[in-house]
């Protein structure tokens, strides 16, 4: 194939021995571009992405021959979520992958204190529930009852890889438990809290499914957690991108000096929340772009080392 027939894509560079595990994680997160072929570069493999993410680079790829032009969609386990109400397109998407059982179209935004959406089934089984597999973990998800984003799969594993053995962790907005159960691999204790009873019910199911004995599910408003647990945690996860800033005080009241807070937010400019963060005792803060969210916004994480 000539260079003129190649296409430029963002990609993730991984060692060949880790390529299959990373490929599966990108598929689970809806980030792998299946329209082009991965390509080798020395001892590495370049995996093409549908969007720019942290650490991505650009490269040229060969498209797969006769690739079917499917409507844009996001994969969450065995469910595809389409961007348009297109039943004919949904039927093509459903037929394109044996692992799919349902195609949905969201009929509302993520809204309400429980961060849920309403969906219309366009094709397949009449369900909003599926099982998502990430890095060896299995999460029962019900998209209509509890918010879940598969696109943070790589981010969750990155945080886990940075941890030291035996840390005490609190996930302030745990949902069905993807962060909590991933970090439980290295933590001595994970407190996983959520305000949504349906999310906590699924969280309990996922704790059993993954056979974790060091995760404590808590049905609670995160603002009240410091009154129960105090400043006893080495790491705090704050993944409530549109509202986390109002819980910064609670996060600092939960994290011991020298510990780390991972504060996730949607931003439209670099450093947007630095002033709000520095109103608290901060030893160091680093801002990272996690993924694109819209043409003008991106999902960022502020990694905060708590001061004394």
Taking alpha carbons only, the member of 299, 305, 296 closest to residue 54 is: 299
* DSSP secondary structure code for residue 116 in this structure: B
Range of the domain at 34: 3-61
Residue 109 belongs to a domain = yes
Looking at residues 89-117, what average pLDDT do you find? 91
Looking at residues 70-94, what average pLDDT do you find? 93
Statement to judge: residues 198 and 297 lie in one domain: yes
**Is the pTM for the entire model greater than 0.85?**
no
Q: In this structure, what CATH number is given to the domain that contains residue 264?
A: 3.40.50.150
3-state SS string for 94-107: HHHCCCCCEEEEEC
pLDDT at 3: 46
Q: In this structure, what CATH number is given to the domain that contains residue 92?
A: 3.30.300.110
Statement to judge: residues 216 and 274 lie in one domain: yes
pLDDT at 205: 98
Q: In this structure, what CATH number is given to the domain that contains residue 7?
A: 3.30.70.2580
For the stretch 281-299, pLDDT in tens is 999 999 999 988 888 889 9
Taking alpha carbons only, the member of 167, 85, 178, 168 closest to residue 140 is: 178
For the stretch 219-254, pLDDT in tens is 999 999 999 999 999 999 999 988 889 999 999 999
Residue 137 belongs to a domain = no
Statement to judge: residues 154 and 302 lie in one domain: yes
Residue 66 belongs to a domain = no
Residue 268 belongs to a domain = yes
Residue 141 belongs to a domain = no
For the stretch 157-166, pLDDT in tens is 999 999 999 9
Statement to judge: residues 183 and 262 lie in one domain: yes
The number of domains in the chain is 3
Statement to judge: residues 123 and 202 lie in one domain: no
Statement to judge: residues 96 and 155 lie in one domain: no
- Asked whether 99 and 24 are in contact (CB, 8 A), the reply is no
């Amino acid at each position: 194939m000539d260079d003129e027939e190649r296409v430029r894509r963002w990609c993730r560079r991984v060692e060949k021995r880790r390529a299959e595990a990373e490929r599966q994680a990108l598929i689970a997160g809806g980030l792998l571009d299946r329209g082009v072929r991965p390509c080798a570069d020395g001892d590495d493999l370049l995996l093409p992405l549908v969007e720019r993410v942290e650490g991505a680079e650009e490269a040229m790829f060969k498209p797969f021959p006769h690739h079917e032009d499917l409507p844009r969609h996001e994969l969450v386990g065995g469910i595809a979520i389409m961007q348009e109400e297109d039943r004919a397109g949904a039927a093509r998407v459903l037929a394109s992958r044996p692992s799919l059982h349902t195609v949905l179209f969201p009929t509302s935004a993520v809204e309400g204190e429980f961060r849920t959406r309403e969906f219309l089934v366009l094709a397949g089984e009449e369900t909003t529930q599926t099982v998502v597999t990430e890095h060896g973990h299995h999460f029962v998800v019900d998209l209509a009852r509890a918010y879940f984003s598969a696109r943070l799969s790589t981010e969750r594993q990155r945080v886990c890889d940075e941890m030291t053995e035996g840390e005490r962790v609190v996930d302030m907005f745990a949902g069905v438990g993807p962060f909590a159960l991933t970090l439980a691999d290295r933590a001595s204790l994970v407190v996983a809290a959520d305000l949504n009873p349906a999310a906590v019910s699924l969280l309990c199911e996922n704790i059993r499914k993954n056979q974790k004995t060091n995760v404590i599910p808590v049905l609670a408003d995160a603002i009240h957690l410091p009154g129960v647990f105090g400043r006893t945690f080495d790491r705090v996860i704050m993944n409530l991108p549109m509202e986390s800033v109002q819980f910064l005080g609670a996060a600092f009241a939960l994290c011991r000096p020298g510990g780390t807070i991972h504060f996730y937010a949607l931003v439209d400019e670099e450093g947007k929340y630095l002033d709000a963060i520095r109103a608290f005792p901060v030893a160091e803060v680093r801002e990272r772009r996690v993924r694109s969210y819209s043409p003008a916004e991106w999902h960022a994480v502020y990694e905060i080392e708590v001061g004394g």
